[in-house]
Structure formats: structure tokens, C-alpha cells
Structure 1
């Protein structure tokens, strides 16, 4: 199969056209990056491989070259935050992506990132964020604080009817604490699941921001374990479409730790 001979075909091309010898695939990749003129390269490599020009071009950029590139996984959170900030500046999409990639390369000059896959990831994230923000700006504006209060009251009554092991005043105080973390319309639903009270806040306003990441909160779920002293509760926010998870711990008095 031509893919198995791909590295060897690249080495032949370098030797025939540029008199450059390479001992390994890694050295071949490095030598290719230093070749200034690559005119007609893919046609010649395709002939050596026995494949089409498009096949060798796509295989090189999308698969073969990735093995020699540094991972950008650890920078995803940083990129996501910067992406949202740049989107709010009304810059063009192409300018946003170029600035993000360029800035990452400037900050890490010793890294060799696979810019094609990085751009694909940022493009996908940009499109999903833009769609989500657009949807949020068209939500029903009749969602008011009054409707939120009604939802909270209904949830409290539901819990009271189910004989919760948490005191109702504690629930009310907890809800108040959680509501201070968000802006805009919030509906609260309570569901009793065995020994876990599941509170779901659905946030309708696009202006709502998660302070730590600067992302729009679309849905937040609050899972409170019912241990006796209530001192080990976990508050998780899922921020779509980026699916960031943030944990905020509360002490036994339900104050934000």
C-alpha cells in the first residue's frame, strides 16, 4: 500500500530534487519544512507512491505530519476563553482564528503545533458558540424574575411534600446562594433522586457569564449529596457547547467556600 511507502517516497523526492538525504521520517519532515520551493512536489511524490496528487497531499497534512507535531490539548481552555473574548470584539471570523493561532505560536516558539487541525478545532468551536449565542438572543423575553420566583416556590413545595432530609430553610438559603452566581432569567427545578437532590438551573440570557471561563452558561446542574453534615457538596456547571466543568465547594452553612 502506498501509505506504507510514503515516508520513503518523500525521502526519494528530497534526494532527487534537492540533493537532501534523510535518515528517518522525523528528519524527512524537518528537511521538508526547510525546503523553500515545493512547486510540483505533490505530483512528483504521487508518482513515486503510485497514488494521486490529492491523496498524498491530504495524507501528508492530515495524518502523516501530525506525528511530529506538539499537542495543544493543554492550551484548549486558554484558547476557548480567548476565542469568546475575541468574538465579543466583533472581529471577523478569519481574523479571530488567525490571531488565536498566531498568539499561541508566539507564546510557545519552541512548540510545533499542527496548525491545520488546530484551525479546524477553533472553527468548529467558533461556529458552535456563534450558533448558541444567536439562539440565546432570540429567547422569549417574557421570562421575568416573577416567573423565576414562581418556579423556585413550586420547587420548594415539591421538596416539602417529599419530606426532604434537608431543612426547607436550608434549601431556600442554598437557592439564594446559587442564584447570585448567575444573571438574567433562571428557572429552578427540583427532583428528588434517592439520596441526591438534583437542582437544574436553566439560564436563558446570553449575557450570563461564567466568571472563571467567561463562557455562556446554557445549563447548570447542582448535585448535593445528603451526607449528615452537608459539608461535602459539589456544584457542577456544564457550559455548552464547550462542555467545561467547574466545581465550587460549599461549606456546611451553604456559603461559597
Structure 2
């Protein structure tokens, strides 16, 4: 069966899409830029980041006849509409990795009458120009330390979740990561059996009573001082995790990231 791709979990081969022989590539080389941005309460963060790139995928869209082709084309335009935002893109020939992007170009002009197939380049704008392993990794501990070595070759954000035991947490909850040296500290009064989650991708801290409904706690400058950890690939990463009480558990989830 010819290779295709999926977008946001939808197999596009169902709608007649076949990836053709040719270069599937980013249209520019990776570039590192430096920038500064404002955070809440006027804090300024300076750092470097990889610039966005455009992923170009040459495809043929087919139908049983022209009417079927037109139906497939219109369905694809709806499924891949840029307003859907950035979603996971998985190429069949590289099914162990995913990109994150949204369609920028490739489905604008409708097929001409009489055609049963039309070629185009699907161009996806990728704010994050890296790929991720499709398997989410999970590390957990019921102690105050957790060490592991991620794969990949790029720093990757992670989610750190602490589940409190059957007692109120200490006055201060702290998550320290090495080798980055980042530290998150909050004096939020975590109750028995509550959860705290540090989302490094979105850079927010949340709490939950049930693990389903989450509320952001980063609203008071007196309530937290924070840095969100990013995992360093191919070396030992160590978390020091303090402040929970009772029979508690810490979990770190992430995807290995590649450039």
C-alpha cells in the first residue's frame, strides 16, 4: 500500500492522499535565534529558540472519478483547515515520529473538470521545527528524588505531576531539575489527595482535586516563584521533589525530541 500521512490522528489515505517519490523536507535550514519576552508581573525572560520552518510533503490526491476526487479535495480542505491550529503530523514512512504544524499551502485551487488525480505539495507551518517520538515516556517515584536519561538530541519540555497523600502538603512545594538548574517553588496550600501539575510546554502550574478538572495557580506574585524544567537529552536528568505529604507520588512525562 502506498505511503500516506495522518493529521490530528486522521489517516489521509482514506481521502485519496498518497505521498509521492520526492523530497519530504523543511524548506529552510534550522536557525537559532535569541529573544526576550515578558512574563506575568513584568518579568523579562531572555533565551534562544529554534525558528519556525515549513514542512513540504509532495502528494497525489485521487478519486474514483472527478466527482469523487472533488469530494476528497473538499474534505481535505476542511480537515486541514489552518483554523484547526497546530496538530500532529505523522508520515507513514516515519511512523515512529511526529511533527506539529498546520497547513499553510497546497489545497487552494480546486481540481479541473475531468481529472481523477491531482498532484500538490502540502506545506505545513511548524512553529516547533523538530520531531517527537510518538511514544510518551513516563518516569515516577514515591521518594524525593528521580533520575533518568532521555533519548533524542534536543531539549524537550516535560510535565511534572505530584499527587499528594492523605495529609496536607508542607508550606512549600519545590521541584529542582539538574543539569538545567531550574527550580519551581510555590506556597500554594495543597490539601490531602490534591494534585499539582507543572506543564513545561505551556509554562503554567495547575492544581486538581480529581485529576480531571485543573485550575491555574499562577495568579499571585506572592504565591510562587517558578522556572519550568526542560529535559536535557542523552545525559542523566535528576529531579529533587519536596513538599508533598503522606503516601505521595511524583510523575514526569515527556516525548523524546529530535532535530
TM-score (norm 1): 0.24
Greater CA radius of gyration, 1 or 2? 1
Q: Kindly indicate which of the two structures has a greater share of residues assigned to strand.
A: 2
- Answer 1 or 2: higher relative contact order, Cα 8 Å, separation at least 6: 2
